[in-house]
Amino acid sequence: MTTERTKGQPWQEPTNHLLEENEKLKATVKELEQFVHIVAHDVKAPLSSLFGLLKLAKHPETTPDLLDQYLDLMNQSIVQMDTFLQDLIHYSRNLRSEVSSMEINVREVVEDVFQNLNYMMGNDGVNFDIAENSLSVYTDYMRLKMILNNLISNAIYYSSEADKPLVSVDFYRENGHLNITVKDNGIGIDEKHQEEIFEMFYRVSSAGKGSGLGLYIVKEAVEKLGGEINLDSELGKGSTFEVLIPLKEKAVSKKE
């Protein structure tokens, strides 16, 4: 911190408040540096793989069969990059936009998310169980969709190969809150990772193709809505994420 005397002003020791603010700023700059480093790395990895595959595809000895394989792999890299950038957009949207509320039919949003994911992920073999009740609430549509989209896509992605995959979504109103549970019978999460998975860019295994941003975005969006998220999971048995969101009384539009 600069403690130089400014012309015409008497010398003053920096206050504790200023020193604290300075420490906070330093920590933020460090986080930002880390953020840029990880983002650059996560975009570079699929891009390098695309370059390599492109070279192989153009090689004169590449047979049509091999070319097909290379194109499939290129597609995977593009999807990986697209998912990552989409996550970054959601992260920034949640950070910047004000909380709004509109009348929402929760079941319709859940069905919409499932349909979208079905189209994108091709979830053959995954059984879905969506609560039958029709529930109309006032809340933030963009954030609710973000939360459901991340939790449901994880439930599908981390399904177990041993069991018949089942993803269940339940929702109801209780004490002025919207209570949502997303349950799967997938690979589960070891207790030692259960807090860390909500951190930015944290992945339990580097084998996954995700950004490690999904649950961080979920946690941040839930907090913006004044709610909470709880996890109950056992390795090899499955996971249940429970989200509690305090509901609004009426529609409030945002002033972006």
Binding site for ligand ADP (CB under 6 A): 150, 154-155, 158, 184, 186-189, 197, 202-205, 208, 210-216, 239
Q: Write down the least CB distance from residue 70 to ligand ADP, Å.
A: 25
Q: Which residue's CB is nearer to ligand ADP, number 86 or number 136?
A: 86
Beta carbon of residue 136, minimum distance to ligand ADP (angstroms, whole number): 28
Starting at the edge strand found earlier in the chain, the sheet holding 238-246 runs 127-130, 166-174, 177-184, 238-246, 228-234
* Contact predicate 209/150, CB 8 Å: no
- In whole angstroms, give the CA distance from residue 231 to residue 196: 12
Q: How many CB atoms lie within 10 A of CB 89?
A: 10
Contact 133, 173 (CB under 8 A): no
Among residues 139 and 159, whose Cβ is nearest to ligand ADP?
Answer: 159
Rg of the chain (C-alpha set): 23
Nearest residue relative to ligand ADP (C-beta):
210
Q: Are strands 136-139 and 238-246 parallel, antiparallel or unpaired?
A: unpaired
Residues composing the chain: 256
Q: At closest approach, how far in Å is the CB of 211 from ligand ADP?
A: 5
Q: Which is nearer to ligand ADP, 70 or 216 (CB)?
A: 216
Give the residue with the Cβ less far from ligand ADP, 46 or 212. Answer: 212
Cβ at position 234, least distance to ligand ADP in Å? 10
**Cβ closest to ligand ADP, residue 70 vs residue 128:** 128
